[in-house]
Amino acid sequence: MTTQLPGAAPLEIGVETFGDITEDAHGKLLTQAQVIRNVITEGQHAETSGLDFFGLGEHHRDDYAISAPEVALGALAQATERIKLGTAVTVLSSDDPVRVYQRFATLQAISNGRAEIIAGRGSFVESFPLFGFNLSDYEELFEEKLELLARLRHGTPVTWSGELRPALRNQQVYPTLETSELRTWVGVGGSPESVIRAARHGLPLFLAIIGGQPSAFKSLVTLYHKAMASFGNDPQPVGAHFHGLVSESDEEALELLWPHYQRTMNRLGAERGWPAASKMRLQASMGPEGAMMAGSPRTVAEKIVRVTKELGLSRVDIKYSQGTMPHEIMMRGIELLGTEVKPLVHEMLAR
C-alpha cells in the first residue's frame, strides 16, 4: 500500500469544471456567458460547502465556456475567502510561461495566496493552431515551457535559454510574490515520461484518472517517488482528478448522469473513433474498481478512501460538470461532496 507523505495534512477534496455548456430546465442550451456566470456561483458554493479547491479547465471549443480560466478565478478570488483556486489544466504547450506566471502571480495577490497552477498538455489540440503553434513540436514545447515555468514560479530573476522561445537573462518578471513560490503541479494522463519530467523539476504530480482502474496508476506513483529521490528532490504531494457526481443514491446518480454522459461521449467518440457510449460501461465505471466517482455520499466516500490509501494521495478533485447536465444538479452534487462526503472521508481515514 502506498502511503501519504509523513506529517501530511488531511486529504484535501476539491471540484473542477471546464464550464461545460449546460441545459436549462426545458432542455435548451445556455449561452456561454450564462455558463460562465453559473461557474462563479458554483465556485462560491464549493467554498460554503466546505471544499478545499476549485479548479477551472482551459478549452477552446464550442462545448466548453472557459477559455480564460484566470479571469473567472480572479472574480472568484474576490467572492471567496478560503478555498484554493487554480486551473485544471493550464495548457502550457500553447501558452507563454512568462504570461502564465504573471497571471497567476496576480491571482495570488488578489486571493491572498490561494492560487495554484496545474500545468499540462491538455486532452485537446485546438489551442495549437489558434495560437500559432505547430503540433509537430508537441513534446518539445511542453518540455521547454515547463522548465521555464518551474524557474519562474519562485518569483526571482531568471536566466534561461531554449530552442523555441527567446532566452531570458537575469530577468525579473512582475508582479513579484509575497509568498516563497507559486504552487505548480504537473498534470499527467498516464505517461511514465511525463511522471519523470515532473520529478526532474521537483514539482508535485497531478494524475488525470478518467477511465479504467485507478489502481493501474500505482506504478506511476511509485516511479514518481523513486525519480524524485534519484534527482535529489524533496518529496512532493500527489493528487488525482476524477469525473463524478454525488447524489442521494447510486441509482439516482446513474440516471442523472446517463443522458449527459451519453451525449458527450458520443460526440467525442465521433471525433476520436470511440465506440458508442454504453450505460452498462458507465455503471461499471461507477463500481468499486472504476474511475467514476459517482453515487451516494457513502459510495463516493468509500471509493475516495480506497484510492487515497492505494495511491498515497494528498488531494482528490472531482469534475462535477458532466456535459449538458443542468446547473441545479451540479450545485446539489457540490453541496453533498462538501457537507457529507468530505466528513465521511476524514472519519474513515482517521480510523
- Strands (E) in 102-258, as ranges, are 115-120, 158-160, 168-171, 183-188, 205-208, 238-246
Q: What are phi and psi of 255, to 5 degrees?
A: -70, -35
Q: Are 171 and 189 in contact (CB under 8 A)?
A: no
**In this model, does residue 138 exceed pLDDT 90?**
no
Give the pLDDT confidence score for residue 1 in this predicted structure. 44
Q: Quick one: what percent of the chain has pLDDT higher than 70?
A: 98
Query: Is residue 1 a part of any domain in this protein?
Result: no
Q: What torsion, rounded to 10 degrees, do the Cα atoms 61, 110, 206, 96 define?
A: 60
Tens digit of pLDDT for each residue in 289-319? 999 999 999 999 999 999 999 999 999 999 9
**In this model, does residue 268 exceed pLDDT 90?**
no
Give the pLDDT confidence score for residue 153 in this predicted structure. 98
Query: Is residue 4 a part of any domain in this protein?
Result: no
Q: Is 88 exposed, middle or buried (0-12, 13-18, 19+ CB in 10 A)?
A: buried
Residue 299, SS3 per DSSP:
helix
| CATH label of the domain that carries residue 84 | 3.20.20.30
Give the pLDDT confidence score for residue 4 in this predicted structure. 52
Please tell me the total count of domains within the chain.
Answer: 1
Query: Is residue 204 a part of any domain in this protein?
Result: yes
Query: Is residue 7 a part of any domain in this protein?
Result: no
Query: Is residue 6 a part of any domain in this protein?
Result: no
Q: In terms of pLDDT, which residue wins out, 271 or 199?
A: 199
**In this model, does residue 3 exceed pLDDT 90?**
no
C-alpha cell at 68: 480564460
Tens digit of pLDDT for each residue in 176-229? 999 889 999 999 998 999 999 999 999 999 999 999 999 999 999 999 999 999
Query: Is residue 259 a part of any domain in this protein?
Result: yes
Q: What are phi and psi of 242, to 5 degrees?
A: -130, 165
Q: What is the mean pLDDT of the chain?
A: 95
Cα of 62 vs its chain's centroid, Å: 20
Query: Is residue 36 a part of any domain in this protein?
Result: yes
Give the pLDDT confidence score for residue 5 in this predicted structure. 53
Q: Stretch 115-130: mean pLDDT, rounded? A: 91
Tens digit of pLDDT for each residue in 80-115? 999 999 999 999 999 999 999 999 999 999 999 999
- What residue numbers bound the domain in which 53 lies? 12-350
Rounded distance between C-alpha atoms, residue 52 and residue 40, angstroms: 16
